[in-house]
Amino acid sequence: MDKVGSLFAYKTAKYVVAKNKKIGILYRLFQLIVLGYLIGWVFLKNKKYQITDEIIQSSVKTKVKGYATITTSDGKEEVWGPEDYVIPQQGDNVFFVTTNVVDTPNQTLGYCPESPLASGFNCTEDADCKQSKYSGNGIKTGICLNITYNNSIGICEIYGWCPPKTKERSEKPMLSEAENFILQIRNVIRFPKFNFSSSNFKDKDQLKKCFYDEIKEPQCPVFRLGDIVHKAGYSFQEMAVYGGSIAIMVEWQCDLDKEWDCNPQYSFTRLGNSPTHEFKFRYVHYFTDAHGRKYRTHYSVSGIHFHVMVFGMAGMFGIIPTIVNLGSGLAFMGAGAYICDIILLHMIKKRTLYRVLKFETVKKNDKSIVKSV
């Protein structure tokens, strides 16, 4: 019957003041730790009293400045500006700066021997030059030309843009001056939840007066290309030979409770860190002479591919996250009392006494208690 009756018993808290200094100090120490965690880590460090927005809307415009002199394959000197070495020229968050180039000028459509750089075109007779649709720099015609290349007797004839490329890229970058080219990054961002907008430059004059420096000018959006590659941990001149990819990361951490506290932080890293992660491609410029004859200049270029990546978060005070985190802190306070109760009732010498004082069963017809009331 007692077991059945216990199902309908009600338990209420009974407070016992235990004058035990060790337990008292432990309890206050636990409260201080929880309070320090709540104020220092939750509110001051991580700002958990704020509503946050991690959806960042971003517009990036880039501009590269600088000039370099190169010597073309026919021995002529040319001056290249941004319109020559930056691809695409309109300035987006992804762009390519040419640092090494092999040009093949005055190509016309016709018949010629294949380049010695192509493999599989050496021959001794016409049967070695079977026609194929795609091969090397053109289409094989099935004719073996009596031209000696690489200690071979002959080389296959092709139909394509002649003459084909016959030079390898230089082991010294053709545009070594690119290390000192200047990059401007204009970034405008918006956090839609708060309808807040900002930019990484205040006015046009700022772009003319500063250069990025981690300590002296951390907010300046003007960079030397050599500094960017160096901060990514690589040598510009070495990367300029074969090319590579560099990420420029723009991180916005905005505290909108202080509107002035919304500035970007810049960091740099290489995308792919082995020599096989080079960056190269080919393109051509077409021309027509006075007689209507079409010809072109073929460019095989290596260079550095830059990718501007924008991300971030904005925060503003909100009553709901504040209440939720305060409630969590109070719950931790209760956990401290629970731990102290375990020690008091089960681990110290006077645990039996404290258990008797803390837990008391009151029966319905207990006359002693009725009289005392």
pLDDT for the residue 149: 64
DSSP string, 226-249: HHHHHHTTS-HHHHHHH-EEEEEE
pLDDT for the residue 371: 44
pLDDT for the residue 239: 92
Are 183 and 63 in contact by the 8 Å Cβ rule? The answer is yes
Return the number of other C-beta atoms located less than 10 Å from residue 32's C-beta: 10
pLDDT for the residue 127: 87
Domains in the chain and their CATH numbers?
A: 12-49+318-372 (1.10.287.940), 53-115+163-315 (2.60.490.10)
Q: How far apart are CA 299 and CA 282, in angstroms?
A: 6
DSSP string, 153-193: SEEEEEEEEESPP--PPPSS-TTGGGGG-EEEEEEEEEETT
SS3 assignment, position 130 = coil
Q: How far apart are CA 316 and CA 255, in angstroms?
A: 6
Q: What is the dihedral of CA 218, 223, 224, 227, to 10 degrees?
A: 40
Q: How far apart are CA 267 and CA 260, in angstroms?
A: 21
Per-residue pLDDT of the chain (373 residues), as tens digits, is 555 656 667 666 666 777 777 777 888 888 888 888 888 888 888 888 889 899 999 999 999 999 999 888 878 888 999 999 999 888 889 999 999 999 999 999 999 998 888 877 888 888 888 876 556 888 888 899 987 765 667 888 999 999 998 888 888 899 999 999 999 999 999 999 999 999 988 777 777 788 899 998 998 999 999 999 999 999 999 999 999 999 999 999 998 888 667 889 999 999 876 656 788 899 999 999 888 899 999 999 999 999 999 999 999 988 998 888 888 887 877 777 777 777 777 777 777 766 766 766 666 665 554 444 4
Q: Which residues are CB-contacts of 245 (< 8 A; sequence separation ≥ 6)?
A: 270, 271, 272, 277, 279, 304, 305, 306, 307
Are 276 and 254 in contact by the 8 Å Cβ rule? The answer is no
pLDDT for the residue 359: 67
Q: Residue 4: what residue type?
A: V
Q: Which residues are CB-contacts of 295 (< 8 A; sequence separation ≥ 6)?
A: 106, 107, 108, 286, 287, 288, 289
Q: Which residues are CB-contacts of 1 (< 8 A; sequence separation ≥ 6)?
A: none
Q: What is the dihedral of CA 85, 91, 96, 101, to 10 degrees?
A: -10
Nearest to 213 by CA among 193, 231, 198: 231
Looking at the DSSP bridge assignments, the partners of residue 299 are 103, 283
Q: How far apart are CA 237 and CA 172, in angstroms?
A: 8
Looking at the DSSP bridge assignments, the partners of residue 248 are 268, 308
Nearest to 298 by CA among 177, 160, 170: 160
User: How do strand 294-317 and strand 94-113 relate by DSSP bridges?
Assistant: antiparallel
pLDDT for the residue 370: 44
Q: How far apart are CA 27 and CA 333, in angstroms?
A: 9
